[in-house]
Amino acid sequence: MTTIRKSIYLKASKATVWSFLTEIDKVKTWFHRYDTDLAAGRDYKIFGQESGKELGYGTVLTSDPHDLLEYTFAIGPMQGASSTVKWTLDDVPGGTRLNLEHSGLTDDAEGFGLILALDKGWDDHLNTLRDHAAAA
């Protein structure tokens, strides 16, 4: 299976970054719209910002506030397959290092287009998160 890994540095506290990962009003500023805040054991759905169309769903596996958030993640192009998204937050001088690990993705040639789309999508979303977290 393929794993996408990314790390970014944010000029914001871990508490602020955490709120942008878990609170529906803040998540929608940089990602997609959820139907609920993310908390341990909670199921969630993802909706398109403009279309309102359901894009995916998952379940929060681990929620250790300000340190670790892990959830299952399934979207339409995955055809019912589930992957895992794991966020870890580290204090660094002046802010937070946010680490993303998106694992359980297909590793065959047919699925490579999805890997490319997710890789670019995470880059785009994380760049937007960087701007919003710094302004908070």
Domain ranges of the chain: 2-135
Say which CATH architecture domain 2-135 belongs to: 2-Layer Sandwich (3.30)
pTM listed for this prediction: 0.93
The Cα 14–Cα 20 span in angstroms is: 10
78 by Cβ neighbours in 10 Å (0-12 / 13-18 / 19+) ranks as middle
Output the CA torsion sign for 77, 80, 81, 87: positive
Per-residue pLDDT 10s for the chain (136 aa) are 899 999 999 999 999 999 999 999 999 999 999 999 999 999 999 999 888 899 999 999 999 999 999 999 998 767 778 999 999 999 999 999 999 999 999 888 777 989 999 999 999 999 999 999 999 8
